[in-house]
Structure 1
Amino acid sequence: MTGESDLIKLYSNRILALAADIPRQDRLDAPDATVKRRAPLCGSTVTVDLKVEDGKIADYGQEVRACALGQAAASVVGSAIVGCTPDQVVAARDALKAMLKDDGPTPPAPFEGLEVLRPAQDYRNRHASILLSLEAACEALEQVRRSDCA
């Protein structure tokens, strides 16, 4: 059983500061793709808009209705994602999953700030909320790729 001190660590000052200052919360007017993802267990939702130019994310907007952990993850993603390639975003999502589920390495730059969520490893019911932003971004990037191939 996890103790009260572990819960205090989980909601560290850094996580709460990230959750209170989420960048890119304006939705985009004409995105190349929009994806809304929901974590069924807790009801957290994230909607992601993105534009892609020259194989990189040129603009990004998000609407975040999530717990503090999901908000913190969205904050890191929103700060880091513009300028990234689809491969970088997929690598960040996969590394975050591995970090949470298997104590894997910290996600690579520019998403290394997600390390702050490592204490959530023992709270499997929070993993889906933490992954929402990157999973929505990956799905949006896949939509863009499919439309480019059509």
Structure 2
Amino acid sequence: MADASDMIKLYSNQILALAAHIPHSERLDTPDRSEMKRSPLCGSTVTVDVAVKDGVVSDFGQDVKACALGQAAASVLGASVIGQSLESIRTGRDQLAAMLKSDGPAPDAPFDRLKVLEPAKAYKNRHASILLAFDATVAALDSLDETA
């Protein structure tokens, strides 16, 4: 069981600030692809809309219904996703998963602000929520890539 100081570290001011200001939090009117992902453990959901031009994300929207940790991850993604390729976003997602699940380093730029979520490593029940925005974005871009 986590003690109070562990919970304070987990829900730091940095995480709460990111969660309070999620970029691109409006859905797109005409996305190239949309994808919704849900964490069965906690019920968090993230729906993303992507538009792609010349192999990179040209527009992005997201509807995030997740805990502060999932919101913080969505905030970092939203702040950096425009101009990124599928491969860059997939790498960020894979690095985030490795940081959480196998004690890997924080993701590289442009997703290096995800380092703030390192205290969540010990909370396996939060990992799925943290990964939702990235998982939904990768799935949307994968399905778009398959139809190209």
Normalized against structure 1, the TM-score is what? 0.97
Letter aligned with residue 36 of structure 2: K
Q: Distance in 1 between matches of 2:22 and 2:33?
A: 20
In structure 2, distance between residues paired with 1:45 and 1:32? 20
- Corresponding residue number in structure 1 for 2:42: 42
Give % identity: 57
1:9 and 2:9 aligned: yes
Work out the CA distance in 2 between the residues paired with 1:117 and 1:81.
18
Deviations 1:90-129 (A, max 9, x none): 0001000000011101111100011100000000000000
Counterparts in 2 of 1:1-150, with a 5 A limit? 1-148=1-148
CA displacement at 1:54 relative to structure 2: 0.4
Any runs of at least 4 consecutive aligned residues in structure 1 with deviations exceeding 2 A, and if so which?
A: none
Aligned residue type for 1:54: D
Given residue 98 of structure 1, which amino acid in structure 2 is its aligned partner? Answer: A
Unaligned runs of 5+ in 2: none
Report the alpha carbon displacement of residue 2 of structure 1 after superposing the two structures with TM: 2.7
Query: What secondary structure, in the 3-state scheme, does the structure 1 residue paired with 2:52 have?
Result: strand
C-alpha deviation, 1:3, in angstroms: 1.9
Aligned counterparts of 1:40 and 1:11: Cα–Cα separation in 2: 22
1:65-90 per-position Cα deviation (integer Å, ceiling 9, x unaligned): 00000000100000011100111000
Query: Aligned equivalents of 1:46 and 1:18: distance in 2?
Result: 16
Counterpart CA distance in 2 for 1:4 and 1:66 is 22
- Aligned equivalents of 2:143 and 2:38: distance in 1? 18
1:84 aligned counterpart, secondary structure: coil
Residue-by-residue CA offset, 1:43-82 (whole Å, 9 max, x unaligned): 0000000011001010100000000000001000000111
Please provide the CA RMSD for this pair. Answer: 0.7
Aligned-pair CA distance for 1:18: 0.5
Q: TM-score, normalised by structure 2?
A: 0.98
The amino acid of 1:13's aligned partner reads: N
Q: Secondary structure at the match of 1:50?
A: strand
Q: For residues 116 and 46 of structure 1, what CA distance do their matches in structure 2 show? A: 20
